[in-house]
Structure formats: C-alpha cells, structure tokens
C-alpha cells in the first residue's frame, strides 16, 4: 500500500471517529457540538503532524490518547447537565467502535491492494453456484472519493472512477454513480463513479 492509499485510509478512520463523536454529542446544541468536533479534529491533526502514523496501529494510539467518543461526549454532556450513558452501555460501545473502525480500515486497505494487484483481472464471484446477494445502492453523491472507496469495499462492490468537470460539485466529490442510488445491484458488481474535476475551463 503506498502513502496516498495509507493516508486516505487513515483519514477515513479519523472521519469515522469524528462521525461517531458527533453522534454521541447529539444531545448538545448544534453550535457547541460542531465547535467541539472541530477542536477534536484540530487536536488529532496536530498530533498526526507531530508524529505521522505509519500504520493503523499508530493512528489508533493517537485516537486512544484523544479518548473514546463516548468519554468525550460524557465530559461535554456533564457540563450541560444532561444525563450521560450508563457504564454498561459504554463498555459495549467501546468494543463496537474499535471493531468498526478497524474493520473499515482493513476492508479499505484490502480493496486498495486488490485494486492495485488484480486491477487487470475480473475475478469470478466468491461463491460460484450460490445465489449472489443483492445490494441497494446508497446515495454517494457529494462524498469524497476515499469515502466512496471504503463504502464500496464495505458493501462488496467494485468501482471504476471517471472524472468530469462540474460547475456545481466541488472538485474531488462524487457527481453521480451508475447505477444510481436506490438501484439493486449484485454483490461484486462494478459501479461507475463520476468524480468532479472542478470547473470547466
């Protein structure tokens, strides 16, 4: 896995961590929530720039230092005088957060490696002779390319990226997918993802 793939994989793990944090902070008024998420984001960025993580384990060390989203959320909610989660639920979530972040990263890394190594081959379905599962395409419009890559990997889909100029969608974000959101697709099939190359010249 090269540096670009590693960095976008790590960015994705951080994005999920921050999403998790924002979800834990739902009870907080929106401006306070956004401010805290921004502060934590800056803190992680600062830690990452001081000693850039070379793999997922090193990034997890950083995130461990920053703390579990629920712990940060209970500290924030305590000051708001809103009851926080019970200890039992927190333990269960602790495990889930770690598992989902690691799983997302591994799938993403695997997809990146497979795409590079086996790019030329169209591998046959994983379960020949068995019924292939159908997946409903999520709405990926407006997401970043790495986010879409990991989402596809999670769903068991492949993607081919095309670019097109756009005056309404920012560079690097998805303009459209084919098949589109809501369509049923077979697991393992290839989705065409069109990413904005910015304004037409």
Partner 1 sequence: MVPGRAPQLAQMRKGALEYCVLALLKDGERYGFELVRDLSAAELVTSEGTIYPLLSRLRQDGSVETTWRESTQGPPRRYYKLTSTGKASLDSFASEWRQFCRAVNGILESGGVK
Interacting residues with partner 1 (CB under 8 A): 32, 35-36, 39-40, 42-43, 45-46, 49, 65-68, 71-72, 75-76, 78-79
Strand-strand pairing, 158-164 and 190-196: parallel
Q: Could you tell me the two tokens for 16?
A: 């999920």
Instruction: Choose between 20 and 151: whose C-beta lies nearer to partner 1.
Output: 20
Instruction: Choose between 49 and 123: whose C-beta lies nearer to partner 1.
Output: 49
Instruction: Choose between 77 and 191: whose C-beta lies nearer to partner 1.
Output: 77
Q: Return the C-alpha torsion angle 98, 101, 103, 106, nearest 10.
A: -120
Closest CB 169 distance from partner 1, rounded Å: 25
Closest CB 92 distance from partner 1, rounded Å: 18
**Helix (H/G/I), strand (E/B), else coil: 117:** helix
Q: Distances in Å between the alpha carbon of 146 and those of 30, 66, 69, 92?
A: 27, 24, 22, 29
Closest by alpha carbon to 184, among 141, 126, 137, 118? 137
Instruction: Choose between 46 and 123: whose C-beta lies nearer to partner 1.
Output: 46
Closest CB 34 distance from partner 1, rounded Å: 12
Closest CB 76 distance from partner 1, rounded Å: 4
């Amino acid at each position: 896995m090269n540096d670009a793939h590693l960095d976008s994989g790590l960015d994705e793990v951080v994005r999920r961590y921050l999403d998790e944090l924002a979800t834990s902070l739902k009870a907080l008024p929106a401006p306070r929530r956004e401010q805290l998420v921004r502060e934590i984001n800056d803190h992680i960025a600062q830690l990452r720039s001081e000693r850039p993580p070379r793999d997922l384990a090193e990034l997890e060390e950083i995130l461990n230092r920053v703390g579990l989203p629920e712990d940060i959320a209970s500290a924030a909610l305590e000051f708001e005088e809103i009851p926080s989660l019970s200890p039992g639920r927190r333990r269960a979530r602790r495990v889930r957060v770690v598992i989902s972040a690691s799983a997302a990263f591994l799938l993403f890394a695997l997809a990146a490696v497979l795409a590079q190594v086996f790019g030329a081959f169209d591998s046959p379905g994983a379960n020949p002779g068995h019924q292939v599962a159908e997946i409903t395409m999520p709405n990926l419009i407006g997401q970043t390319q790495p986010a879409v890559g990991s989402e596809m990997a999670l769903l068991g889909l492949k993607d081919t990226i095309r670019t097109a100029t756009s005056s309404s969608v920012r560079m690097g974000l998805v303009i459209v997918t084919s098949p589109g959101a809501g369509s049923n697709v077979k697991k393992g099939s290839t989705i065409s993802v069109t990413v904005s190359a910015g304004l037409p010249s």
